[in-house]
């Protein structure tokens, strides 16, 4: 499948992505999958500062660490701090993960059912240094669904950068197959450190070892990259 690559200067990246996201969420009834982490953080800040409004939108959290609730490195906490708490009003509905339940398999099934009710209009994603999307680590099959996953050491290290006071060994994530059923997908990529893995994802072979490479199967994917991230394309 073809994909649309939009290359922006670093100083325009957040403004442009936030503007187009605002156009999408101005349409009532949107169902969004949102990630957390350093890449979307400036987009969220710009979106909120520019009057972004999710009051007509259902938001699904992409993934979650197996960390004690309330910690700053939890994905729900990061989404709240980076976006939701900055908005004038909360989204119409927020669907997150309960990682405290004794039946995580049932919790992942619940998330699949919640999404299946109306699908996802747009899934925003980042790409990890090892090619992961969400917490779909290398080795994840293209037809994977929402599930509990063991975390790659690089992902565990990322949690420490976000302020985790414990090292998460596992997480829960929407599967690649689940994400590929979204009506549209945006892949957000910034910085020279992501240039090599982005090139592998877009130009290398489709392989479970680079889970993001499977996004090329989608019929409506936009890659938003700054100039450094796109330098090897």
The residue annotated as part of the active site, out of 98, 130, 181, 228, is 130
Contact 233, 4 (CB under 8 A): no
The residue annotated as part of the active site, out of 63, 64, 121, 226, is 63
**Could you confirm whether 113 is annotated as catalytic?**
no
**Could you confirm whether 226 is annotated as catalytic?**
no
- Reading across the β-sheet that carries 184-189, which strands appear in turn? 4-8, 221-226, 184-189, 122-125, 31-34, 58-61, 93-95
Contact 126, 193 (CB under 8 A): no
Give the Å distances, CA to CA, from 79 to 82, 110, 194, 232.
5, 21, 22, 30
For helices 10-25 and 41-49, give the axis angle rounded to 10 degrees: 60
The residue annotated as part of the active site, out of 64, 107, 132, 152, is 132
User: Which among 217, 133, 138 is positioned nearest to 175, based on CA atoms?
Assistant: 133
**Could you confirm whether 130 is annotated as catalytic?**
yes
Question: Which parts of 50-125 fold into alpha helices (H)?
Answer: 75-82, 104-116
The residue annotated as part of the active site, out of 137, 152, 218, 226, is 137
- Token pair 């403004």: residue: 15
**Could you confirm whether 150 is annotated as catalytic?**
no
Give the chain's end-to-end CA distance (angstroms, integer): 17
Positions marked catalytic: 63, 130, 132, 137
């Amino acid at each position: 499948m073809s994909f649309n690559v939009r290359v922006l200067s670093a100083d325009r990246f957040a403004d442009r992505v936030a503007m187009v996201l605002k156009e999408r969420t101005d349409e009532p009834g949107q169902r969004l999958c949102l990630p957390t982490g350093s890449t979307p953080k400036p987009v969220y800040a710009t979106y909120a500062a520019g009057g972004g409004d999710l009051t007509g939108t259902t938001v699904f959290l992409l993934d979650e660490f197996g960390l004690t609730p309330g910690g700053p490195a939890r994905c729900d906490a990061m989404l709240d701090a980076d976006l939701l708490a900055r908005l004038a009003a909360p989204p119409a509905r927020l669907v997150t993960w309960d990682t405290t339940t004794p039946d995580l398999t049932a919790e992942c099934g619940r998330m699949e059912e919640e999404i299946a009710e109306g699908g996802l209009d747009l899934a925003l994603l980042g790409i990890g240094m090892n090619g992961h999307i969400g917490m779909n680590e290398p080795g994840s099959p293209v037809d994977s669904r929402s599930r509990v996953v063991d975390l790659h050491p690089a992902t565990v290290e990322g949690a420490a950068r976000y302020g985790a006071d414990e090292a998460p060994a596992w997480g829960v994530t929407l599967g690649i197959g689940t994400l590929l059923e979204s009506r549209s997908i945006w892949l957000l990529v910034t910085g020279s450190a992501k240039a090599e893995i982005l090139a592998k994802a877009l130009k290398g072979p489709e392989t479970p070892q680079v889970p993001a490479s499977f996004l090329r199967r989608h019929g409506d994917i936009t890659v938003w990259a700054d100039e450094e991230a796109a330098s090897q394309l």
